A and B are shown apart, each in its own frame.
Chain A
Amino acid sequence: MGPLIPNGVIPYEWNNIIAIIIGIVFGFVLEASGFSSSRKLAGVFYGYDFAVLKVFFTAALVSLIGILYMDYLGYINMEQLYVHPTYLWGAIIGGVIMGVGFVAAGFCPGTSLCAVAIGKIDAIVYVIGIMVGIFIFSELYTIFQPLYEGYFYGNITLMDSFGINRYWFVFVFTIIAILAFVISDLIRKRRKKIFY
């Protein structure tokens, strides 16, 4: 049956409308859970708030387990799902830049827009920074192109590249996630409480 749009259950024209609706809901949930505060986001690096880690790990787990169950029951065809292509060094270097930006500013691109929406000045500066970064990247594209398009490994998944059974992988991943939650809680309890 699924995915709904490629299989024509929902007409293709609804694609953008659904995307906008999901985007609004996503933004609302981010704001509602306090993710438009840079202090909360940065807390994961300083050890006084692990909400980011917990939320995103949980989201990954829910979708992972949910999709596998739906695939098992035949509601969704996993072969048709989009797998993001891997450009190895581009991803590593981009990830490092993004990480540094995350620690320094306390936002990731999504939450920064969320914070702009509620009028945070640091987020506005951050978004201007993103725009400048995009401008520099586009202007110097010819220099970055070999890195940007090189080291291409195709649309691979962990299961493809390591040959692990996907169900066992999810099980191990769940245990790792729960361990991470427990450990992060222990760290948080040892830290002096910070009010922000």
Chain B
Amino acid sequence: MVNRKVAKVLTFRYKILAGIFLLLAAGLVLLPKYEKHEGIKPEELLSNAISPERYISTDELANKIINQDPSFIMIDVRNETEFNKYSIPNSINIPLKKLLDIDAIGYLNQSQYDVIFISNDHFYADQAWMLCNRLDYKNLRVLKGGINNWYLTIINPTKPTENMPAEDFELYSFRKSASMFFGVVYPEQLKVEKKPEVKKVTPKKVIPIKKKKKMPVEGGC
């Protein structure tokens, strides 16, 4: 037998439950609201920002393009007119203001390819990098120095002076050949080099003498 006092309280059980519901629901309305932090955590963003992986140099990019590396796509965040004037071959134009459009998500939010952001300097590309990082997109990189640096180093590399170390000359020759790949023509290329005539050497004719094959030994005892 239930205690009478308890029984008395229990007759109100549905009202009590209703009251609890109302209280909880009202609590939700009255609780102080705070802006939820969406995307990645600040610590993660910082570690991405200071990571050496963040930037890619123009030489590395040129190397990748020439070797037809399939692992990356280039996103040009400049506006359309600038993009039409000059762009790195095979880059995709997504102007910075259209970065968050639905069409752009397919290029940016994927884990198959590295995304390399390109702008005139790396200023806008960095902003695109930051925005996409906040959205937790993966494998983002920025072309260091952007198109300007691309032009200075790859398209129009400065010739090293004679007192510079050998690496600079190697770098220059790489850059020069890269620029040729991207369609720059050098004056020395136009000169038709006269090839020294090579005397034709008639190779000695060798007549092979076929050896008689020895018959395998058969039979015997």
Contacts and interface: CB of A to CB of B under 8 A. Distances in A.
Interface of A: 61, 65, 68-69, 72, 79, 167-168, 170-171, 173-175, 177-178, 181
Interface string B163-177: 000000000000000
B31 A65 contact: no
Contacts, number: 36
Nearest to A77: B36
Contacts of A181: 14, 18
Contacts of B28: 65, 68-69, 72, 167, 170-171
Nearest to A177: B21
Contacts of B31: 72, 167
A170 B29 CA distance: 8
Contacts of A171: 25-26, 28-29
A167 B29 contact: yes
Nearest to A74: B36
B10 interface: no
Contacts of B22: 174-175, 178
Contacts of A167: 28-29, 31
A61 B29 contact: no
Nearest to A175: B22
Contacts of A69: 24, 28
The interface residues of chain B, by DSSP majority, are classed as: helix
A61 B20 CA distance: 11
A65 B29 contact: no
Contacts of A174: 21-22, 24-25
Chain B residues touching A, range: 10 to 19
Given A69-B28, A171-B28, A173-B25, 17 more contacts: A61-B21, A61-B25, A65-B21, A65-B25, A65-B28, A68-B28, A69-B24, A72-B28, A167-B28, A167-B29, A167-B31, A168-B29, A171-B29, A174-B24, A178-B21, A178-B22, A181-B14
5 cross-chain pairs, A with B, having the tightest CB-CB distances, nearest first: A174-B25, A167-B28, A171-B25, A167-B29, A178-B18
Q: Which of B14, B18, B25, B29 has the most CB of A within 10 A?
A: B25
A95 to B, nearest CB: 26
A173 B18 CA distance: 12
A173 B31 CA distance: 17
A59 to B, nearest CB: 12
